[in-house]
Amino acid sequence: MATKGVKLLGVWASGYVNRVEMALKTKSIKYEFIQDNLLYKSELLLKANPVYKKVPILFHDEKPICESLVILQYIDEAWSNGPCILPSDPYDRAIARFWASYVDQKWFPLVLDLLNTEGKTAKAALLEKMSEASVLLEEAFIKISKGKSFFGGDRIGHLDIVLGSTLGWVKANEIMNEMKILDERKMPSLAEWDERFCSDKVLKDIIQQPEKLVEIFREFREIKKAASN
C-alpha cells in the first residue's frame, strides 16, 4: 500500500503520539507531522475525533484513525509488506496485546501520577506500587522474549513500541524525583532492554528527550497554577 497521504496529528510531548511515530518509522512510512496545541484542541482534532477529543490521530488518504493501540494495529495491517509489528502467531499476538493494555491501564498511569504527586509519604506509596508493577513487566519480558533482545524477539515489536514510548516520561520522572524507576538491581532485564531500545538506530532520533519533557511539564504546571489563581 502506498505511503502517500499519511499525516499524524499530535503533540510532541505525548508518549501515545510518540509510539505511532515509532511504528511509522519501523515500517519506513513517510508521514507529515501536524503539531496540535497542548492547551487548546484544534478544530481538526475535534472533527476527526469527536468521541474522545484527543491525539494521536492518523490520517491515511484523509481518513482518520484514532487511539494509539488501534493505530498501531492499523499500521501493521495496512502496510503488511514492511516488518511486522505484532507477532504472527495468534497466541503471541494476544499476549502482546494483553501486556500493551497493562502498560496503558496500569503501569504508565502510575508514572504520570508520580509526576503530579507531592509529599514524601504519597510519593513513597506510589513508588512502591511502581516497583511492584515494574517487577511484573520484568517477569513478562523474561517469559515473552525467550532470552532474546526484545519483547518482539530479535527485533522491536508491538510491546516494545508501547512500553518504549513511555520511556521519555519515565526518565523525566527520574530527573524530577531523583530516583530510578527501572532499577537494574530489581529489574536487570528491563534495564538492559531500556538501553537496547534507546540505542536502536531506527528509533533513537525520535525517542523523547527527558530534559525537554521536564521543561515542558514545569511550564505547563505554571500555566495551570496561574489559571487557577
User: What confidence score (pLDDT) does residue 141 get?
Assistant: 98
Q: Is there a domain that residue 160 lies in? A: yes
pLDDT band at 1 (very low <50, low <70, confident <90, very high): very low
Domains: count for the chain: 2
CATH of the domain at 10: 3.40.30.10
- Cell 498511569 sits at which residue? 109
Dump pLDDT digits (tens) for 68-126: 999 999 999 999 988 999 999 999 999 999 999 999 999 999 999 998 888 889 988 99
Tell whether 100 and 162 lie within a shared domain: yes
Tell whether 115 and 179 lie within a shared domain: yes
**Mean pLDDT of the region 185-206:** 96
Tell whether 198 and 119 lie within a shared domain: yes
**Mean pLDDT of the region 36-55:** 92
CA–CA distance from 64 to each of 20, 31, 67, 165 (Å)?
14, 14, 10, 21
Tell whether 205 and 145 lie within a shared domain: yes
Q: Domain range for residue 150?
A: 90-213
Please provide the average confidence, as pLDDT, over all residues in the chain.
Answer: 93
Q: What is the pTM of this model?
A: 0.94
Q: Is there a domain that residue 196 lies in? A: yes
Tell whether 165 and 129 lie within a shared domain: yes
